[in-house]
Homo-oligomer: A and B are copies of this chain.
Amino acid sequence: MLIIISGPSGSGKGTVVRSLDPSRNYAMSISVTTRKKRDGEVDGVDYFFRTIEEFEEMREQGEFLEHALFVGNYYGTPRSYVNEQIALGKAVFLEIEVNGALQVKEKFNDAVLIFLLPPTMNELRQRLISRNTEDPETIEDRLRRAREEIKLIDKYNYLVVNDYVDNAVNEINTIIEAEYLKPHRNMSLLENFEEKTNAETILF
């Protein structure tokens, strides 16, 4: 199962995803990037670090669920890594901005889209200000963009208000548990049930 955690810049996607319980059968998607490795970052853990040529080759081979250019560097979500983790029976989390999320949903129809909403616009503004990394104009830009993104909420499967990180994480866990109860995620159970049924019919 692929779970996409998305929402406006400042909604707290990163914090929420880092707070997910690693003892559950969860895996985090790892992005491919062409940006330089920073001190302490590990290839295959923080990112898959690749050259621009390697990245473009992967893109041409259709190996990305989504990709984007950001401040002069490429970023992409590798389909193969996601598929490997899903094959291991894991719930794979992808933390991604809204446009990328809708791109992935198109290629991966079974993905579970979760929109992370800040409690109010005012709270969102405060969070962006307290980051202390963006000038007022950029912050207003992000707020305008957030308003546009919120209009796309009906394309999502679930809506989680990130008032407190623990609440948001609990709600995400609940969503995963409920999604595992969908009939189409239990076809093997049903096949076994039918097998048992047939075996019984013969014995009867």
| B residues less than 8 Å from A63 (CB atoms) | none
Is A115 within 8 A of B183, CB to CB?
A: yes
| B residues less than 8 Å from A194 (CB atoms) | 150
Cβ contacts A80-110/B at 8 Å (1 or 0 each): 0000000000000000000000000000000
Q: Does A52 contact B (CB under 8 A)?
A: no
Which one, B120, B183, B200, contacts A122 given CB within 8 A? B200
Residue of B nearest to A155 (CB): B183
The distance in angstroms between the C-alpha atoms of A197 and B143, with both chains bound, is 10
Please tell me how many copies of the chain the complex holds.
2
| B residues less than 8 Å from A158 (CB atoms) | 178, 181-183
Q: What is the CB-to-nearest-CB distance from A109 to chain B, in angstroms, rounded to a whole number?
A: 16
How many residues on chain A are close to B (CB under 8 Å)?
33
Is A193 within 8 A of B159, CB to CB?
A: no
Q: What is the CB-to-nearest-CB distance from A203 to chain B, in angstroms, rounded to a whole number?
A: 10
Given contacts A156-B183, A178-B179, contact A193 B115 (CB under 8 A): no
Is B157 within 8 A of A190, CB to CB?
A: no
Q: 25 A–B contact pairs at CB < 8 A?
A: A120-B196, A121-B193, A121-B196, A121-B197, A121-B200, A147-B197, A150-B193, A153-B190, A156-B183, A157-B182, A157-B183, A158-B181, A158-B182, A159-B181, A159-B186, A159-B189, A159-B190, A160-B181, A161-B189, A171-B181, A174-B174, A174-B177, A175-B178, A177-B178, A178-B179
